[in-house]
Each structure stands twice: as C-alpha cells, then as structure tokens.
Amino acid sequence: MHSSLSLLAVACVASAATTYRVSIDTSKTFQTIDGFGFSEAFQRANQIINLKEPVRSQLVDLLFNKTSGVGFTILRNGIGSSPNSTNDWMNTIEPNAPATPDSTPTYNWDGDDSGQFWIAQQAANYGVKTFYADAWSAPGFMKNNSNDAGGGYLCGSPGAPACASGDWRKAYADYLTQYVEYYKSVNISITHLGFLNEPDLVTAYASMEMTGAMAADFIKILKPALEEKGFGDQVKIACCDATGWGTQRNMSRDILADKDAAPLVDVFTTHLYTSKIDSPLPSAGQHAWMSEYADLGGNWSTNWFSANASAHNDTKAMAGDGLTWARNIHTGLTTGNLSAFLWWVATQDTATNGNNNEKLVLVDDANNTYTVAKRLWAFAQFSRAARPGAVRVGVDVAPLTSACKPAKPDDTAAATASPLRTIGFLNANGDVSTVIINDSAEDVAVDVDTGAKNAVNAEVWVTDASRDLERLPSIITLEGRVDVQKVPAHGVLSVIVRAS
Ligand SMILES: *[C@@H]1O[C@H](CO)[C@@H](O)[C@H](O)[C@H]1NC(C)=O
Ligand SMILES: *[C@@H]1O[C@H](CO)[C@@H](O)[C@H](O)[C@H]1NC(C)=O
Ligand SMILES: *[C@@H]1O[C@H](CO)[C@@H](O)[C@H](O)[C@H]1NC(C)=O
Ligand SMILES: *[C@@H]1O[C@H](CO)[C@@H](O)[C@H](O)[C@H]1NC(C)=O
Ligand SMILES: *[C@@H]1O[C@H](CO)[C@@H](O)[C@H](O)[C@H]1NC(C)=O
Ligand SMILES: *[C@@H]1O[C@H](CO)[C@@H](O)[C@H](O)[C@H]1NC(C)=O
Ligand SMILES: *[C@@H]1O[C@H](CO)[C@@H](O)[C@H](O)[C@H]1NC(C)=O
Ligand SMILES: *[C@@H]1O[C@H](CO)[C@@H](O)[C@H](O)[C@H]1NC(C)=O
Ligand SMILES: *[C@@H]1O[C@H](CO)[C@@H](O)[C@H](O)[C@H]1NC(C)=O
Ligand SMILES: *[C@@H]1O[C@H](CO)[C@@H](O)[C@H](O)[C@H]1NC(C)=O
Ligand SMILES: *[C@@H]1O[C@H](CO)[C@@H](O)[C@H](O)[C@H]1NC(C)=O
C-alpha cells in the first residue's frame, strides 16, 4: 500500500497552449467503487448462448476478462414475473397462485432463468462477485391489477386499495428470497436484491408501481424474510431503480425519512432516462448505483465521436457516442458520487426495437458474428482502472505557465477552467490509477510522475476514434515516472500503476 502515492500528469507541449498538471491525491478519499456492469434480462442472454463456439466464448471473454476484455464486474439479472419467456417476458419461479397468501407456495426453478443463469455462471468463472437480482414486478396474482404487466400495486401496500385475495407482501418477500436460494443452490451468491424497476412508470411489460413510503414499508418485511433464510449478511437490499435521478432522489428521501427502514437499505439504485445527475442522491451511508441507462433513442451506431453533431451541440445525435459515455460515467462517479455504473443490455440483435442503440454489442446469431459499439471501450477504460473495492481519490488539476513548469498549485480558478476531465482511484490491492478525458480537438503530451518508487509496472491504455483500449508502450522509471504519453484529441487515457 502506498498511502502517500501521488500520480502527476505533466503536460509538456511545444505550443503556447495552456497545459495542465494532474496530481492524484490518495489522502483525499471519496466513495468506494462496487463496479461496472450490464444486464442480459429480457431474453438477451440467449443471443449470446445461441452463438456457436469459438465466437460465443470470445464474446464472453470480451465482456468479463479483466486483462483482454472490458472486465465488467457486476451482472444485473431480471427476476422474471411473467407466465412465459417470449420476447421481453421472463418467466417467474411461481407461475401459479397459491390459494391464499399464507398457503405454501409452489416454486419452480427451470435451471435457465431466461438464459441469465448461464451468463451468471460465465461471469462467476471470470471472478465476478457482484450479482444484482432485480424484480420488475411481483407475479400478477400478488397485485391489485392481477397482471405482472401494466403497473398496479403490491397487495397490502399501505395507501393502495385492499385486494380481495389478501395481503401478499410477505409472500413477495419470500418469493424474492427463494430466487436467491435457487442461485445459491447452483453456486452463485446473489449479493444485491431489488424488488422494483421503474416504479414510477406503467408499461406493457412487467411493471409495478410503488411510492417511497410503500418501498420503505416493504423493506421492513423483506429484511426479516432474508434473515429468516440466513441471507441477512449475504444479500444487500437495493432500491428503487426509478426512471430518473429526480424521482429516485424523492424515493430515497422518503425511505430515509422512515427511521426503521433506512438502516435496512444498502444501495440506492437509479436510472437516468427521465432526469440526469446534478448532485449526489441523499444518503445515510448507502452506496448509489446508476443501475440502468442506455441510448434508447438512437439508431445502432459504433461511433466514438460524432464531430459534426458535436459542432452543432446536437446531444441526441451524440447520445450513443463512446466519448459521450466516457463523460457520462465520469459525471456519475464525480458529480453523482456513484459506486457503480451499469449499462442496460449488453447484447441485442438487429430485429429488436428497430435495431436501436440500446445495446453495447450487436449480435447476429444467424451469421454467428457480433459487432462492438465504441461505448463498450468507454466502460473498459474505467472498469480496468477501478476494480471493486477501489476508493475514488482526489485529483488536482493545475495549469503550467510554460511547458513543464507548474504554476501555483493552489491556482484553483485556472484549474476549474481546465478542459480535462480527470478521476483517480486507489485500488484495494494498492494499484493507483487515473482516467483522463480530453474533450478538445488536439492531442496533449502527458508525462506521468507516479512518485511510486516501488511501483512495479505502469499500464497506459487509450481509446479514441481509431483505437479500442489499446495499450501504449510505457516505461516506469525507478523514480516512478512514466514516459511521455498523449491524451489524444477527443480521447480517453487510463494510467494504471501496479503496486505489485
Ligand atoms: C406471456 O406473458 C405475457 C404477460 O403476462 C402475456 O401478455 C403474453 O401474452 C404471454 N405470451 C404468450 C406467448 O403466452
Ligand atoms: C483472460 O485473458 C487472458 C489473456 O488473454 C487469459 O490468459 C486468461 O486465461 C483469460 N481469463 C479467463 C478467466 O479466461
Ligand atoms: C390498483 O390500485 C391503484 C391505486 O389505488 C388504482 O389506481 C388502480 O385502479 C387499481 N387497479 C385495479 C385494477 O384495481
Ligand atoms: C455447486 O457446487 C457443488 C459443490 O462444489 C457441486 O457439487 C455442484 O455440482 C455445483 N453445482 C453447479 C450447478 O455448478
Ligand atoms: C420530488 O418531490 C418534490 C417535493 O415533494 C416535488 O416538488 C418534485 O416534483 C418531486 N420530483 C419528482 C421528479 O418527482
Ligand atoms: C457519497 O456516498 C457515500 C456512500 O458511498 C456516502 O457515505 C457519502 O455521504 C456520499 N457523499 C455525498 C457528498 O453525498
Ligand atoms: C433512424 O433511422 C431512421 C431510418 O433511417 C430515421 O428515419 C430516423 O430518423 C433515425 N433516428 C435517429 C434518432 O437518428
Ligand atoms: C451536421 O449536424 C447538423 C445538426 O445536427 C445537421 O443538421 C446537419 O445535417 C449535419 N451535417 C452533416 C454533413 O451531417
Ligand atoms: C448543449 O445542449 C445542452 C442540452 O441540449 C445544453 O444543456 C448545453 O448548454 C448546450 N451547450 C452549448 C455550448 O450550447
Ligand atoms: C447474415 O445472414 C443473413 C441471413 O440470415 C444474410 O441475408 C446476410 O447477408 C448475412 N450477413 C452477413 C454480413 O453475412
Ligand atoms: C486536449 O488537447 C488540446 C490540444 O493540445 C488542448 O488544447 C486541450 O486543453 C487538451 N485538453 C486537455 C484536457 O488538456
């Protein structure tokens, strides 16, 4: 461990343009990172499963391998609530209603879980340890609209009309616990459990409405149900996967207002479709996860940076760009205080949703091929640099008045004006890293001085229009200085200094 390790990125350019020194300050610590991930819910998992070897294994390796792929570290499963598994439906483990909420339920594990069990096994083989199981809805018979789709409330929820069939809250908690039990029986530890998905939206697929107060009520039933089956420590409760930051902020606020429920929630989860990150979510120590987001509006694009759209500030046309997602992740981890950032679905085919841009990888099972969007590499730049358990650390950016001569280190006004986006991490194993985004149109030369006399290795990775997480040659000197690199125009550079 190098508690006093500092990384200095010194920009040295011949031109008169302002250059910047980036200093990583490991003594200034922020949130702990849980990881980066995606879901393969809605039968998307089958698009990987249906590929033939060796292509299938190559795609799995691309997603999970931390030395040759992205190194994703979180998998979000959808807990099915539907009677069947066609299209976007996921079948439930409790297809038939018991006579009453108190009757013994009949559960059924099909060993497939809409393809998600296979993906989970692959992830586990690559060392993934964080599995977030999230229910979009309770089965229809537990709801006041008798359907797992089309919104409706969990019967028994305070403030919802009473259901003739009774109060199904405990039955729902037991049902969710049973899903964890099934995964345990096949050697996968579900670490995070959510009981809602976009509770502020009514949709034609699985959906269930809840207010923050209803969620707080249910959390107080779910926690003892988990404890009863011995999952009190293994499983963290996550809530509420609201459609946007604003609605999740309100749900988090309402849960925190319930002093009995608040300590039982470990993670506040949100999507960003209806509102974006402006400040941290309220928290009494809960981690914040951006648990689902994607470019739903664009056509399939593998672009890194759309220059013309950028020149016109056409944010819709840039919504799927790789560089846009590098910025989104950066904003989430800095402004949003996020501990995790999850894309929606990793894979999709051309036929689904008009071949839109909601996937990272376009899979063509018929031709046994896949195509990767540059967004995937934006995730890799972060996922390689910040492994689970990494702590985000301080970064100071100061301009150099002339090439390689630092200005006053406390020149914060000038630092604020820097066009560089930077972030730093101290990993649990002592590795220190920085991810640097250069938004502007020219390359910048960077000299990274780690100050790490005993660092063994420095890895420099770059993604831009022409490169996908390409390793740049680099030498770390005995003094801990990394040789001159370039943060390319509209590019992302990650420097990872290995402690051992
Ligand atoms: C599958 O379940 C959904 C949700 O209940 C239902 O709307 C749909 O008709 C079912 N599809 C088939 C093929 O049974
Ligand atoms: C990840 O990739 C590396 C390098 O290609 C390989 O040696 C390693 O076996 C892979 N890891 C797994 C778990 O397959
Ligand atoms: C379920 O409860 C909500 C909230 O009161 C209500 O708006 C809705 O009409 C109910 N649905 C049915 C089918 O009763
Ligand atoms: C789970 O682990 C046990 C004990 O190692 C083993 O016998 C069993 O086959 C494993 N099950 C699966 C589905 O991998
Ligand atoms: C959050 O709650 C406040 C006050 O209760 C309300 O004014 C605001 O509209 C809510 N925001 C969202 C996004 O629901
Ligand atoms: C950031 O999140 C952590 C939990 O990960 C929390 O303890 C801390 O208070 C949050 N910071 C801010 C400024 O909200
Ligand atoms: C997607 O492509 C279709 C057909 O080419 C076009 O009509 C539509 O405007 C495009 N959508 C976006 C968001 O670019
Ligand atoms: C450039 O972007 C603008 C605004 O999005 C658009 O109207 C124009 O057609 C684009 N030009 C080209 C050459 O794509
Ligand atoms: C670009 O557009 C976004 C939203 O569409 C807006 O918030 C931002 O201020 C615009 N930036 C410039 C430089 O016009
Ligand atoms: C993929 O397969 C389809 C038939 O399923 C064929 O029409 C198409 O040309 C193939 N595309 C490529 C790129 O091979
Ligand atoms: C990116 O490169 C250009 C050109 O060298 C420079 O003007 C700009 O400030 C750089 N951005 C950063 C973050 O240094």
Ligand 11 neighbour 419 (Cβ under 6 A): yes
Q: Which of 10, 444, 448, 486 to mutate to test the pocket of ligand 11 (most atoms within 8 A of CB)?
A: 444
pLDDT of 3: 33
Q: Of the ligands numbered here, which is closest to the C-alpha atom of 443?
A: 11
> Nearest 5°: CA angle at 469, between 422 and 43?
105
Structure tokens at 2: 């190098």
- What does the alpha-carbon distance between residue 438 and residue 246 come to, in Å, rounded to a whole number? 29
pLDDT of 347: 98
Position 437 confidence tier, pLDDT thresholds 50, 70, 90:
very high
- What does the alpha-carbon distance between residue 157 and residue 218 come to, in Å, rounded to a whole number? 8
Ligand 11 neighbour 436 (Cβ under 6 A): no
- What does the alpha-carbon distance between residue 236 and residue 143 come to, in Å, rounded to a whole number? 25
Only one residue has tokens 């969710």, namely 176
Nearest CA owner, ligand 6 atom 4:
287
Measure 241 CA to ligand 11 centroid, in angstroms.
37
Measured in residues, the chain has a length of 500
Ligand 3 neighbour 153 (Cβ under 6 A): yes
- Amino acid at position 374, single letter: K
Measure 315 CA to ligand 9 centroid, in angstroms.
8
Measure 335 CA to ligand 6 centroid, in angstroms.
11
Ligand 6 neighbour 31 (Cβ under 6 A): yes
Residue 448: is its pLDDT beyond 80? no
Measure 20 CA to ligand 8 centroid, in angstroms.
33
Nearest CA owner, ligand 6 atom 8:
285
pLDDT of 487: 82
pLDDT, tens digit, 9 for 90 and up, residues 15-37: 435 566 677 888 899 999 999 99
- What does the alpha-carbon distance between residue 422 and residue 22 come to, in Å, rounded to a whole number? 8
pLDDT of 2: 35
Residue 308: is its pLDDT beyond 70? yes
Measure 389 CA to ligand 6 centroid, in angstroms.
15
Nearest CA owner, ligand 11 atom 8:
440
Give the percent of the chain with pLDDT over 70. Answer: 87
Number of the ligand 3 atom closest to the C-alpha atom of 146: 13
pLDDT, tens digit, 9 for 90 and up, residues 260-297: 999 999 999 999 999 999 999 999 999 999 999 999 99
pTM: 0.93
pLDDT, tens digit, 9 for 90 and up, residues 98-148: 999 999 999 999 999 999 999 999 999 999 999 999 999 999 999 999 999
Q: Which of 434, 440, 464, 485 to mutate to test the pocket of ligand 11 (most atoms within 8 A of CB)?
A: 440
Nearest CA owner, ligand 4 atom 9:
186
Give the percent of the chain with pLDDT over 90. Answer: 79
Q: Which of 137, 142, 153, 163 to mutate to test the pocket of ligand 3 (most atoms within 8 A of CB)?
A: 153
Measure 185 CA to ligand 4 centroid, in angstroms.
8
Ligand 11 neighbour 470 (Cβ under 6 A): no
Residue 200, by phi and psi: left (phi above 0), alpha (psi -120 to 50) or beta? alpha
Ligand 7 neighbour 298 (Cβ under 6 A): yes
pLDDT, tens digit, 9 for 90 and up, residues 36-61: 999 999 999 999 999 999 999 999 99
Mean pLDDT of 442-468: 74
- What does the alpha-carbon distance between residue 484 and residue 240 come to, in Å, rounded to a whole number? 45
Domains and CATH numbers, the chain: 19-31+394-499 (2.60.40.1180), 34-385 (3.20.20.80)
pLDDT of 482: 60
Write out the chain in H/E/C secondary structure. CCCCCEEEEEECCCCCCCEEEEEEEEEEEEEECCEEEEECCCCCHHHHHCCCCCHHHHHHHHHHCCCCCCCCCEEEEEECCECCCCCCCCECCCCCCCCCCCCCCCCCCCCCCCCHHHHHHHHHHCCCCEEEEEECCCCHHHECCCCCECCCCECCCCCCCCCCCCCCHHHHHHHHHHHHHHHHHCCCCCCEEECCCCCCCCCCCECCCCCHHHHHHHHHHHHHHHHHCCCCCCCEEEEEEECCHHHHHHHHHHHHCCCCCHHHCCEEEEECCCCCCCCCCCCCCCEEEEEECCCCCCECCCCCCCHHHHHCCCCCCCCCCHHHHHHHHHHHHHCCCCCEEEEEEEEECCCHHHHECCEEEEEECCCCEEEECCHHHHHHHHHCCCCCCCEEEEEEEEEEEECCEECCCCCHHHHHCCCEEEEEEECCCCCEEEEEEECCCCCEEEEEECCCCCCCEEEEEEECCCCCCEEECCCECCCCEEEEEEECCCEEEEEEEECC
Residue 479: is its pLDDT beyond 60? no
Position 481 confidence tier, pLDDT thresholds 50, 70, 90:
low
Residue 252: is its pLDDT beyond 70? yes
Asked if 236 and 267 touch (Cβ cutoff 8 Å), the reply is yes
Ligand 6 neighbour 287 (Cβ under 6 A): yes
Q: Of the ligands numbered here, which is closest to the C-alpha atom of 109?
A: 4
pLDDT of 176: 98
pLDDT of 446: 54
Mean pLDDT of the chain: 90
Position 8 confidence tier, pLDDT thresholds 50, 70, 90:
very low
Residue 416: is its pLDDT beyond 50? no
Ligand 8 neighbour 318 (Cβ under 6 A): no
Residue 450: is its pLDDT beyond 80? no
Measure 207 CA to ligand 3 centroid, in angstroms.
13
Number of the ligand 4 atom closest to the C-alpha atom of 121: 14
Mean pLDDT of 198-227: 98
Residue 181: is its pLDDT beyond 80? yes
Ligand 3 neighbour 243 (Cβ under 6 A): no
Cis peptide leading into residue 54 (ω within 30°): yes
- What does the alpha-carbon distance between residue 386 and residue 30 come to, in Å, rounded to a whole number? 13
Position 331 confidence tier, pLDDT thresholds 50, 70, 90:
very high
pLDDT of 400: 60
Ligand 11 neighbour 415 (Cβ under 6 A): no
Measure 227 CA to ligand 6 centroid, in angstroms.
26
pLDDT of 418: 62
Nearest CA owner, ligand 3 atom 8:
152
pLDDT of 11: 42
Residue 445: is its pLDDT beyond 60? no
Which has the minimum average pLDDT: 39-48, 140-149, 190-199, 437-446? 437-446
Nearest CA owner, ligand 10 atom 1:
367
- What does the alpha-carbon distance between residue 98 and residue 381 come to, in Å, rounded to a whole number? 49
For residue 273, give the nearest of 314, 238, 245, 315 by alpha carbon: 245
pLDDT of 402: 46
Which has the minimum average pLDDT: 102-106, 244-248, 323-327, 484-488? 484-488
Q: Of the ligands numbered here, which is closest to the C-alpha atom of 369?
A: 10
- What does the alpha-carbon distance between residue 65 and residue 47 come to, in Å, rounded to a whole number? 19
Number of Cβ within a 10 Å radius of residue 434:
25
Which has the minimum average pLDDT: 118-127, 171-180, 477-486? 477-486
Residue 434: is its pLDDT beyond 80? yes
Structure tokens at 148: 């797992």
Asked if 248 and 224 touch (Cβ cutoff 8 Å), the reply is no
